[in-house]
């Protein structure tokens, strides 16, 4: 059991020893391991995204009493491999009136913050690429830069629908950033740190979802809106504005936006697990397996919500963020602070 637990860590150690045995200087070894970490994170993201698209179509099928994809491979498991290959082989259209540079840049830029988020996620015991002392702040800050790429893509396509969609996306993502950050404050106050490993360690005895249920629900709603997923998929509202910011994107460029969306789904679920569900901690199974199980449970919750609720109206969307979620999360911060002070005064 212990060897399964530390399979990735010992692999890392073996790689370092192997590189040292070649007589490499320390800085070179460090550089090589960074490259290996980056490739590992990218592989994790891509493998998950491919599987998640399949899972989403399957879940959607079962929610609507259908079967979902089941022809390509056993149970349709290779459906998304076929889709990805097909998208690779499609024509890459750049509209004549588009701003070519920005149009190209946006599709690449959307993917960078989506993968950068995984740097601070603890995948298991001591399995974190960079355990920053401002890990949570880094996550929020980097995550919010994805807005720029969406606006860039919508603006540069020079299409009225994409511009409308990207403006909706920016309004929505910036509005929901605030309740999202405030809902995390309660957890930070309990853990007393922004460092991910310390937040996980603080939940050794009791998960924060028990102590902070309001914060978890606020986070869940705000995160769904941040992801532009149903019932908050207004930026892509097919019935109104075709495909939102992605109207003019075809082939692999469109697939990159699609990939980034699902990569964000994984990272947001991973953050929810780390902050509210005790991270990688759990009995019997190896820590990284616990992490994956919990993340997939969270992802299933997101999918369940998406395929159950109808789309919300634009004014209701803004009203929900500013008039409901923000006050609730502020009250939660106040109550948490008061309770902490009270318990300290009582000497618990």
Partner 1 sequence: MEVEKGRGGFLLSTVEFFLNHARARSFWPVTYGLACCAIEMMAAGGARFDIARFGYEVFRASPRQADLMIVAGTVTNKMAPLLVRLYEQMPEPKWVVAMGSCACSGGPFVDSYNVVKGVDTLVPVDVYVPGCPPRPEALFDGLLKLRAKVINPRVAKVAGDAR
Question: Which positions lie near partner 1, rule CB under 8 A?
Answer: 57, 60-61, 64-72, 76, 79, 81-86, 88-93, 238, 242-243, 246-251, 254
Question: Closest approach of Cβ 250 to partner 1, in Å?
Answer: 4
The residue (of 61 and 282) whose beta carbon lies closer to partner 1 is 61
Helices (H), 192-325: 196-202, 208-211, 213-226, 238-241, 251-276, 287-306, 314-319
Question: Closest approach of Cβ 171 to partner 1, in Å?
Answer: 21
Question: Closest approach of Cβ 96 to partner 1, in Å?
Answer: 12
The residue (of 162 and 212) whose beta carbon lies closer to partner 1 is 162
Given the structure tokens 């634009």, which residue do they identify? 314
Q: Tell me the C-alpha distance between 183 and 217, whole Å.
A: 9
Give the list of residues 6+ apart from residue 186 with CB closer than 8 angstroms, or none. 212, 214, 215, 329, 332, 333, 336
Question: Closest approach of Cβ 240 to partner 1, in Å?
Answer: 10
Q: Tell me the C-alpha distance between 7 and 146, whole Å.
A: 34
The residue (of 125 and 229) whose beta carbon lies closer to partner 1 is 229
The residue (of 57 and 311) whose beta carbon lies closer to partner 1 is 57
Question: Closest approach of Cβ 80 to partner 1, in Å?
Answer: 9
With the CA atoms of 181, 183, 189 and 190 taken in that order, what torsion angle do they form, in degrees rounded to the nearest 10? -140
The residue (of 16 and 57) whose beta carbon lies closer to partner 1 is 57
H or E element: which one contains 26? helix 26-63
Question: Closest approach of Cβ 51 to partner 1, in Å?
Answer: 15
The residue (of 81 and 201) whose beta carbon lies closer to partner 1 is 81
């Amino acid at each position: 059991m212990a060897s399964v637990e530390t399979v990735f860590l010992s692999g890392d150690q073996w790689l370092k020893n192997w590189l040292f045995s070649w007589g490499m200087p320390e800085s070179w070894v460090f550089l090589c391991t960074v490259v290996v970490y980056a490739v590992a994170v990218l592989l994790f993201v891509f493998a998950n995204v491919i599987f998640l698209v399949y899972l989403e179509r399957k879940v959607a099928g079962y929610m609507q009493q259908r079967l979902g994809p089941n022809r390509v491979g056993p149970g349709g498991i290779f459906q998304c491999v076929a889709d990805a290959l097909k998208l690779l082989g499609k024509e890459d259209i750049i509209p004549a009136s588009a701003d070519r540079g920005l149009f190209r840049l946006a599709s690449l830029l959307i993917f960078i913050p989506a993968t950068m988020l995984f740097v601070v996620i603890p995948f298991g015991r001591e399995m974190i690429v960079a355990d920053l002392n401002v890990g949570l702040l880094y996550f929020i800050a980097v995550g919010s830069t994805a807005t720029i790429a969406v606006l860039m893509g919508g603006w540069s396509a020079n299409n009225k629908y994409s511009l409308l969609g990207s403006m909706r996306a920016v309004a929505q993502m910036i509005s929901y950033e605030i309740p999202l950050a405030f809902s995390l404050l309660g957890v930070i106050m309990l853990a007393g740190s922004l460092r991910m490993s310390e937040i996980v360690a603080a939940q050794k005895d009791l998960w924060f979802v028990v102590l902070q249920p309001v914060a978890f629900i606020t986070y869940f709603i705000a995160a769904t809106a941040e992801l532009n997923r149903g019932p908050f998929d207004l930026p892509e509202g097919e019935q109104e504005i075709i495909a939102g910011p992605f109207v003019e994107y075809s082939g692999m460029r469109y697939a990159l936006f699609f990939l980034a969306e699902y990569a964000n789904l994984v990272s947001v679920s991973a953050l929810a697990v780390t902050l509210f569900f005790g991270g990688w901690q759990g009995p019997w199974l190896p820590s990284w397996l616990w992490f994956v199980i919990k993340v997939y449970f969270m992802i299933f919750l997101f999918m369940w919500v998406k395929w159950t609720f109808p789309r919300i109206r634009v004014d209701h969307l803004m009203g929900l963020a500013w008039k409901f979620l923000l006050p609730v999360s502020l009250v939660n911060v106040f109550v948490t602070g008061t309770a902490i002070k009270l318990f300290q005064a009582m000497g618990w």
